[in-house]
A and B are shown apart, each in its own frame.
Chain A
Amino acid sequence: MSRRFLAHLGVPRVRESILDGLADVRAHKLRTFLQTLGVILGVASLVAVQGLVDSGRRQATKFFDEFGGLTKILVVNRPSKEILVTAQQLASHGLTWSDAQAIRQEIPNATLVDPIASEELSIRYGDYERRNDVTGATPDYSAVYKFYPAKGRFLIQDDMASQARVCVLGDTAARRYFGNEDPVGRILTIGEVGFRVVGVMNRKEFYFGEGDHNALEWMNEQTFIPLTSLYARFTGDDRKRVQYINVIVDKVENNPKAAAAIRALVRRRHAGITDFEVINRAERLKQRAEQNQVFDTVFLVSGIVSLLVGGIVIMNIMLASFRERIREVGVRKALGASGIDIAMQFLVESILVTVIGGTVGLGLGVVFAQIISSLVGQPAVITPQMAVIGVSASVTVGLVFGLYPAIKASRLNPVEALRYE
């Protein structure tokens, strides 16, 4: 914008208008408070919602990140719901190891493929014995879950090839069987077969709120053996069925494409029946956000409604106090103020009032967010976005609802305005 155009709009007078507005605010503290109340509450609720929504989204993303992130696609068994079952369909036995191999070979975006099967077995060390799930996993598991050994190593390809009798323990499992002893190199008896412990995993922890339980404790409970060893030594399953297959895709953007390709591939391999489900995690998160949207919308609408009410109150008070300013407008016009100068002055003042309200509302909104988050046990996130939302919402209200009084003032006839008592 050129300087002349800005001057035409009365912009160089903005500073003076702000000073005038501040003097007016100081002179009418109660009026200003009443004027800004709606804006304060409106901005506060907008900011609080933004904080909570943001905090929720961050928590979910962070949680998922702990075991695979948003690029993960999960393929799980889901028996066909069709009642009439054809012979072909009977021939399908759910997801198998070879489905996983096929995904690895045929889906170009799949960077990690990790089929998993598990079996409940007795586990014994010394005098201590209990039945527990044993997870048959592949070397990719560690990278898929971003779950790495604290001591020793995770399962490797050689273990798979030789159906080795080796196992890796989660932190809690290791403590349970070995107490304070170092488990690495010791023999754990799993289903009457001796397995050498080759590694202990890092401890995984995630708390959604203070005092909450560890949402990732199930990972610390794990006992891993090579998937091939599980088949060979325990299940004796020739078909090599798996419970689910984790697939990590190279980029989140490729998730939908990869999910569709996996769906088509596995369906083809299962004789055209869908006895499985492909769960795209990014999609999940989006669905969850959509479900939450009802809640968010209610808050958003209530915020907007109170901003509107606040704006109407501001306009109302500006119009009510308009009379006492008519003469002032007349004087300013007599001294050479144009209609645009007057309109700018009124607009700057109404925006000033709403920005004051918005700033107070911002502070209040942060406090609201903290209180609500402590009630639901979720940490509140305070972001620069909140300030942007608070300020832009209040400027908008000031602009929209200041416009009518501003235009009205700008159109006053100087002769009549000067004569006004």
Chain B
Amino acid sequence: MRISRGVVSAVPEDYGPNPAEPIIRLNDVHKVYGSGEDEVRALQGISLTLDPGDYVAIMGPSGSGKSTLMHILGCLDVPTEGEYVLAGTPISQMSARKLARERNKRVGFVFQSFNLLPRANLARNVELPLLYAGVGRAERRERALSALRKVGLGERAKALPSQLSGGQRQRVAIARALVNDPSIVLADEPTGNLDSKTGQEILALFGELHEQGHTVILVTHDPNVASRAGKIIRIVDGKVANGAAS
């Protein structure tokens, strides 16, 4: 039975069949774009394992393949080769439709440019993942308001994104990422569009999420951001360049 709980304060329940099981397991994952002379080998055999509750930063220069890795971790794309298991579910060979469902259920995205829908108020923005999960209207509204309260924006539910500061927008995006109790929170340069003070606040929020038991993955090129995480995975030329991977 699925129990609806408070968002930020709760530990995500969806750990897969066995709590000892890793939340993420990548086994020799390759990703190749194009073919022939245009062939780009973005990922060249990445293997890594993350446990529930991990706080991880994925670092690497641009072109290193960290974006590709993030897309695969976020179920936006599937590997050309290799195996990806997310919370006990093999993702590698999924159809687009099933992939969309996994994404909806297991991944909360936070983007650099917030990516809120400009004409929808905050509550409707935060509700979106629940909408696609098929949650009823009343429950959607309730859970969205609860998520907004957790990021300190409960009073602004009716406001439009354009009426908010950058930091506030990113808080809304975090509320949206958490509203469906995902297995992992995947943040792509979440402080990239923010001034350093606001960036610190957002990073503090991710720290809180981690303390509450959420699995948080930050994708960044900024060492100061990465230093907040418990583990750093460096990607160079489509490969893991440090020992963080198992």
Interface residues of chain A, those whose CB is within 8 Å of chain B, are: 7, 12-13, 15-16, 19-20, 23-24, 27, 327-328, 330-341, 414-415, 418
Please, how many angstroms separate the alpha-carbon atoms of A7 and B135 in the complex? Answer: 11
Which of the residues A27, A331, A333 comes within 8 Å of B119, measured between beta carbons?
A27
Which A-B residue pairs are the 10 nearest by beta carbons? Answer: A336-B104, A336-B132, A23-B119, A338-B100, A331-B115, A335-B129, A414-B76, A335-B128, A337-B132, A334-B109
Mask of B101-131 contacts with A, CB within 8 angstroms, 1/0: 1011100010100010101100010001101
Contact sample, A vs B, 11 pairs, CB 8 Å cutoff: A19-B120, A327-B115, A332-B128, A334-B74, A335-B129, A336-B100, A336-B129, A338-B100, A339-B97, A340-B97, A418-B76
Report the contact-size class of chain B (Cβ under 8 Å from the partner).
Answer: 20 to 34
B84 → chain A, closest Cβ, in Å?
15
Does B133 make an interface contact (CB < 8 A)? yes
B76 touches A334 (CB 8 A): yes
Q: How many angstroms from the CA of A341 to the CA of B101 in the assembled complex?
A: 12
Which chain B residues border A336 with CB–CB below 8 Å? 100-101, 103-105, 129, 132-133, 180
B244 on the A face (CB < 8 A) = no
Residues in A with CB closer than 8 Å to B243 are none
A23 and B119 CA atoms in complex are apart in Å by 6
In the complex with contacts A12-B134, A23-B119, A334-B74, A418-B111 CB distance below 8 A: yes
The answer on a CB contact under 8 Å between A415 and B76 is yes
**B117 contacts A331, C-beta separation under 8 Å:** yes
Chain B residues closer than 8 Å to A339, beta-carbon distance: 96-97, 100
Q: Does B77 interact with chain A (Cβ within 8 Å)?
A: yes
CB-based contact A338/B97 at 8 Å:
yes
Interface residue? B150 (CB, 8 A): no
Q: Do residues B131 and A16 form an inter-chain contact, with CB atoms below 8 A?
A: yes
Which residue of A330, A335, A414 contacts B132 across the interface (Cβ within 8 Å)? A335
The answer, among A335, A338, A340, A414, for a CB contact under 8 Å with B176, is: A335
> In the complex, are the beta carbons of A338 and B101 less than 8 A apart?
yes
Task: Other than A20-B117, A331-B115, A337-B100, give 10 A-B pairs with Cβ distance below 8 A.
Answer: A27-B119, A330-B115, A334-B109, A335-B103, A336-B100, A338-B97, A338-B101, A338-B132, A340-B97, A415-B77
| B residues near A332, Cβ cutoff 8 Å | 128, 132
Mask of B70-81 contacts with A, CB within 8 angstroms, 1/0:
010010110000
Q: 1/0 contact trace for B168-192 toward A, CB 8 Å?
A: 0000000010001000000000000
Closest to B102 in A: A336
B residues in contact with A7, CB < 8 Å: 134
What separation, in Å, do the CA atoms of A27 and B120 have in the docked complex?
Answer: 12
* Shortest Cβ distance from residue A138 to the other chain B in the assembled complex, whole angstroms: 74
Q: Looking across the interface, which residue of chain B has its beta carbon closest to that of A341?
A: B132
Complex: A27 Cα to B117 Cα, angstroms? 13
Instruction: Contact check, A328 vs B97: say whether CB atoms are below 8 A apart.
Output: no
**Which of A13, A20, A27, A336 has the largest count of B CB atoms less than 10 A from its CB?**
A336
CA distance A296 to B176 in the complex (A): 56
Q: Which residue of B lies closest to A4 (CB)?
A: B134
What is the chain A residue whose CB lies nearest that of B117? A328
Closest partner residue, chain B, to A340 (CB atom):
B97
* Among B71, B105, B119, B129: residue with most chain A CB under 10 A: B119
User: How far apart are the CA atoms of A12 and B129 in the complex, in Å?
Assistant: 14
**A340 to chain B: which residues have CB within 8 Å?**
97
Q: Is there an interface contact between A335 and B120, defined as CB atoms closer than 8 Å?
A: no
Residues of A within 8 A of B71 (CB): 415
| Chain B 146-184 per-residue mask, 1 if CB under 8 angstroms from chain A, else 0 | 000000000000000000000000000000100010000
Max chain B Cβ within 10 angstroms of own Cβ: one of A13, A335, A337:
A335
A137 to B220, CA, bound (A): 105
Residues of chain A lying within 8 A (CB to CB) of residue B124 = 16, 19
Q: How many Å lie between the Cα of A12 and that of B134 in the bound state? A: 8
- Give the distance to chain A from B30, nearest Cβ to Cβ, in Å: 16
Distance, CA A335 to CA B172, complexed state (A)? 14
Minimum distance in angstroms from B177 CB to a CB of chain A = 9
> Distance (Å) between the CB of A21 and the closest chain B CB?
10
How far, in whole Å, are A169 and B100 apart by their CA atoms in the complex? Answer: 86
Task: Chain A residues near B115: list those with CB within 8 A.
Answer: 327, 330-331, 334, 418
Residues of A within 8 Å of B111, CB to CB, are 331, 418
Q: How far is the CA of A341 from the CA of B100 in the complex (A)?
A: 10
**What is the distance, in angstroms, from B93's C-beta to the closest C-beta of chain A?**
17
A340 to B119, CA, bound (A): 22
How far does the alpha carbon of A337 sit from the alpha carbon of B99 in the complex, in Å? Answer: 10
